Structure 1
Amino acid sequence: MLERVLVRGRATPPEPPRRRGATSLDPEPDRLGPLRALLGAIPWLQVGLGTTVLLLAAMVPWATGEVLAAMDRKIMAIDVRGELVGENRNALERHVGDWIGRSYFATDLAEVKTALEQRPWVASAAVRRVWPDRLVVDVRERKPLAYWNHEQLVSRTGRLFAPANRDVAGRLPLLAGPDDRVRDVIDMARHLSESLAAEEIGFAGLALEERGAWTLRLANGIEVALGRDQVEQRFERFLTVYRDQLAPRADQVTRVDARYSNGVAVQWKPLVSDSGKNT
């Protein structure tokens, strides 16, 4: 009976006795734990993809440069296009001939454009590449409106320019005045020429003196002095007198002075005039 109890109630071996005054050892702390946690929180897939994209982006300029260098050729021809009157096509092609033989890709098209637009007749130039070895230049010329001070031309946009061959502009009105008043002269000329056209009178030119006086020239050679003040009223007075009295004898008139308050003074050509001037 005693043996059976002992078998069933076998005791657990007791803990080894501790030495008096001794302490137990705690488990050693994991110093790499925070680092492992940090590394575990990093999305390595996204980081890898981002790094790959950056590397590819950095390689694109280099690869592009290598490809362009392999494809680059020398410019062999430059074609000039556009409706030309003042400019000579061959002269323009010779002017841009300095770029023949240069790199197709490295040539600065803005430089070619600037060089062309420095020529008096050229208002604008558009330059483009045509593969594999050609440049095409589209030129737009200035459209002359009138001669200016006998030495220059003035374009329809009011730009003064002085080409060596200005006579190719053909028969145009002659405008004159200070260069800083060119826009005023153009505006006045347009206004007067429209009024003259309504009366079927040809317009030949207009001059503005330094002191501000206006002188109109008709296509039949008659000069009309309009002065500085009340120019519009004086011009209307001249039109009235011309329409009613002078038109039939216009070939006998040299000058009309409209600077009077109640009329005009007419200077006749010497061969058909007894007194030289009538008022």
Structure 2
Amino acid sequence: MRTLEEQARERREKLSKKHGVGSNVKKIARVMWWTGFFGAITIIPAALWYTGKADKWLALAEKESIYLSARLGMTVNNIEVSGREKTDTNALLAAIGQKPGTPIITFDVDAARERIEELSWVRNATVERQLPDTLIVSIVERKPLAIWQTTDRNHVLIDGDGEQLQNYELGDYLDLPVLVGADAPKSAAEMLGILQTIPDLYAQVTGAQRIGQRRWNIQLANGMFVRLPEQDMDKAWQRLAMLNREHDILERDVLIVDLRLPDRTFVRLTPGAAELRRNPPKKEGAV
């Protein structure tokens, strides 16, 4: 008969064997699981990429993410626009190109901005997504500067960059000066900026003609023409202001004021005034 000590030792040995096998099975199972996991995230994508199927997997993932974002409410429900005054609303919405209810994460803000800036009245634009459901569009419109008379005698509204504007009523801008000359639009901003520095004189300006792609002749409301030099237009314009202050030259029968030379001014009278100067009326009683 075995002693109690021998029986206890035998039970301990059996228990030790039993737990040892179970522990090894669990360890093997854990190793197999982690091996499978890392295989899924490394070997499988690598295999898909090698076989050319990774693009399909990525496309499917992208499609699913877009679908889920829409289910979560990330769709275009609001379009907020600031800065619009002259730009046609329908043309602007068409340029934005995103219909309400479509997923907002697919919206290409750069492409939309480029389309918006192609509209004639838009100088520049910014487009942003405001999640979850709003597009923010901010535009800076062009400012009309003058009316350009083209070579075929049509009249076109232009801005300071010489860009031709569209979709307007010409009658709304008849107070702007009329420019003549093939290269007048691209050179007008500098010239008109100088003329505007003396508001009283600029208020009399009705038009300007570009001469030889070098200089300008300015037409005033009283029919007078002012010939400006190619260089130092600002000094010549200030000289005209001085002549008007000291001699009221704008009130006289003068057809042309020539300011092209910096040290002298030439004046041509109107035909009527010139005739009177050549043939002054005889005094009564004179023989």
Tell me which interval the TM-score lies in, with the shorter structure as reference length.
Answer: 0.5 to 0.7
Shift of the 98–216 alpha-carbon distance from structure 1 to 2, 3 Å rule, reads same
Residue equivalent to 2:142: 142
User: Is 114-123 or 221-230 further displaced after alignment?
Assistant: 221-230
Distance in 2 (CA, whole Å) between partners of 1:171 and 1:101 is 45
User: What do the CA deviations read for 1:59-105 (whole angstroms, capped 9, x no partner)?
Assistant: xx887764443122685545242233321335523554664454322
TM-score where L is the length of structure 2: 0.57
Check conservation: 1:128, 1:136, Cα contact below 8 A: yes
- The structure 1 residue matched to 2:68, chosen from 61, 67, 70, is 70
Check conservation: 1:178, 1:210, Cα contact below 8 A: no
Aligned: 1:190 with 2:219: no
Structure index of larger Rg: 1
Residue equivalent to 1:214: 216
Residue equivalent to 2:159: 154
Aligned pairs for 1:47-62 (under 5 A) are none
Aligned: 1:256 with 2:257: yes
Shift of the 105–229 alpha-carbon distance from structure 1 to 2, 3 Å rule, reads closer
Shift of the 99–110 alpha-carbon distance from structure 1 to 2, 3 Å rule, reads farther
Identify unmatched segments of 5+ residues in structure 1.
1-47
1:120 Cα deviation from its structure 2 partner: 0.3
1:118 Cα deviation from its structure 2 partner: 0.8
1:160 Cα deviation from its structure 2 partner: 1.6
Distance in 2 (CA, whole Å) between partners of 1:211 and 1:202 is 22
TM-score where L is the length of structure 1: 0.58
Distance in 1 (CA, whole Å) between partners of 2:140 and 2:235 is 40
1:119 Cα deviation from its structure 2 partner: 0.4
Check conservation: 2:156, 2:164, Cα contact below 8 A: no
Higher normalized helix content (fraction of residues): 2
Distance in 1 (CA, whole Å) between partners of 2:129 and 2:231 is 57
1:235 Cα deviation from its structure 2 partner: 4.5
Residue equivalent to 2:166: 163
- The structure 2 residue matched to 1:173, chosen from 177, 190, 194, is 177
Residue equivalent to 1:201: 201
Amino acid at match of 2:67: A
Amino acid at match of 2:166: P
Aligned: 1:79 with 2:83: no
Distance in 1 (CA, whole Å) between partners of 2:138 and 2:129 is 12
1:238 Cα deviation from its structure 2 partner: 3.8
1:107 Cα deviation from its structure 2 partner: 2.7
Q: Please report the RMSD computed on the Cα atoms of aligned residues, expressed in angstroms.
A: 4.4
Q: What is the aligned-residue identity percentage?
A: 22
Distance in 1 (CA, whole Å) between partners of 2:229 and 2:174 is 30
Distance in 1 (CA, whole Å) between partners of 2:139 and 2:146 is 21
1:183 Cα deviation from its structure 2 partner: 5.4
